[in-house]
Copies of this chain bind each other. A is one copy, B any other.
């Protein structure tokens, strides 16, 4: 059993929607009751919201923190100015060993900054990256980075490749193939960053036992047959991930019309947000950190908590550190 610290004040629908998620996760009739939860937020508010939802106070802990992360300005500045911001307090619980993982569906920049400040980076990881599991036609694939580091260098992409490989392996993918997201599989295609990164990855990954398959394209992410780890900068990854989300919304609408019955298509659309796809795993910090979509529903928040719980139990952080360290040699 892993202990997960959950940010009560993160997300567009917070704190209500987070309290809804807590009610689901602590429902004794649900399988999720095995997760040990710590809710981090204003204690009185938390108690009231949970009581309204009939949550047994004995099924979770509440740690008091009065202030949500600001959506405006530089998140680092705001986090340094106050010691009662929920994301900082939640991360502090992980650092102190009281919790095994931290989950927020609030401002991504604030959650990432709190994790980097509070947990520190793994050795060999200069920029932490958000990894998202996409349920492709061929099975789960990892897209990294989905938005934490908008500007990358070839060496940063190599770090993402190793961390993403460790994540896919932790999730049970055997010998995942690593591809570099680009725009055509011929040599010499892609932008400057990709042309340099391709050479570096081709040279350094195979000696580490990481299967590198070269350039892969945007459509390969949802199809999933060419690679299981898709490496890109956080700008491209975020645009692509949201583009895929928009396209599935488009398809749910158009295909629902084609069948004359919207509901089955909508159910497929909803299901995409309720699995591992709901949360981004922050790779490269010294603790399990899951950042969800600001618009997350209670079901999606539950999915983020389950993902964090699983990663903690599977030892994602030591596995990521081993992959990064292997690059430095024995």
On whether the beta carbons of B239 and A255 are closer than 8 Å, the reply is no
Report the interface size for chain A: residues with CB under 8 A from the other chain. Answer: 57
**How far in angstroms is the closest Cβ of chain B from A72?**
7
Contacts of A71 in B (CB 8 A): 186
Contacts of A155 in B (CB 8 A): none
Interface residues of A in 60-77 (CB under 8 A from B): 71-72, 74
Task: Give Cα A86–Cα B239 distance, bound, in whole angstroms.
Answer: 36
Task: Give Cα A250–Cα B220 distance, bound, in whole angstroms.
Answer: 10
Task: Give Cα A186–Cα B220 distance, bound, in whole angstroms.
Answer: 30
**How far in angstroms is the closest Cβ of chain B from A193?**
8
Task: Give Cα A191–Cα B258 distance, bound, in whole angstroms.
Answer: 39
Among A150, A235, A267, which residue has the most Cβ atoms of chain B within 10 A? Answer: A235
Interface residues of A in 66-99 (CB under 8 A from B): 71-72, 74
A218-B235 contact given A190-B150, A191-B150, CB 8 Å threshold: no
Contacts of A243 in B (CB 8 A): 218-219, 221-222, 240, 243-244, 247
What is the predominant secondary structure among interface residues of chain A facing chain B? helix
Task: Give Cα A28–Cα B151 distance, bound, in whole angstroms.
Answer: 55
A217-B244 contact given A254-B268, A268-B255, CB 8 Å threshold: no
Task: Give Cα A235–Cα B191 distance, bound, in whole angstroms.
Answer: 6
**How far in angstroms is the closest Cβ of chain B from A276?**
15
- Which of these, B183, B236, B245, contacts A147 with CB under 8 Å? B183
- Closest residue of chain B to A250 (Cβ to Cβ) is B222
On whether the beta carbons of A191 and B239 are closer than 8 Å, the reply is no
Task: Give Cα A188–Cα B247 distance, bound, in whole angstroms.
Answer: 26
On whether the beta carbons of B249 and A219 are closer than 8 Å, the reply is yes
Task: Give Cα A189–Cα B148 distance, bound, in whole angstroms.
Answer: 11
A250-B223 contact given A147-B183, A186-B72, A259-B259, CB 8 Å threshold: yes
**How far in angstroms is the closest Cβ of chain B from A149?**
9
Does A42 sit at the interface, judged by CB under 8 A? Answer: no
On whether the beta carbons of B183 and A235 are closer than 8 Å, the reply is yes
Does A100 sit at the interface, judged by CB under 8 A? Answer: no
Interface string of A239-266 (1 = CB under 8 A from B): 1111111111111111100110100110
A191-B151 contact given A240-B240, A245-B218, A246-B219, CB 8 Å threshold: yes
Contacts of A217 in B (CB 8 A): 238-239, 242
Does A181 sit at the interface, judged by CB under 8 A? Answer: yes
Interface string of A21-59 (1 = CB under 8 A from B): 000000000000000000000000000000000000000
- Closest residue of chain B to A271 (Cβ to Cβ) is B254
Known pairs A218-B242, A239-B239, A259-B265; list 19 more (Cβ under 8 Å). Answer: A71-B186, A74-B188, A151-B191, A182-B235, A183-B242, A191-B233, A191-B235, A218-B239, A218-B243, A219-B245, A221-B246, A222-B249, A232-B239, A243-B244, A251-B251, A251-B265, A255-B264, A255-B268, A259-B261
A-B contact pairs, 8 of them (CB 8 A): A147-B183, A218-B243, A219-B249, A222-B247, A222-B250, A236-B239, A255-B255, A258-B264
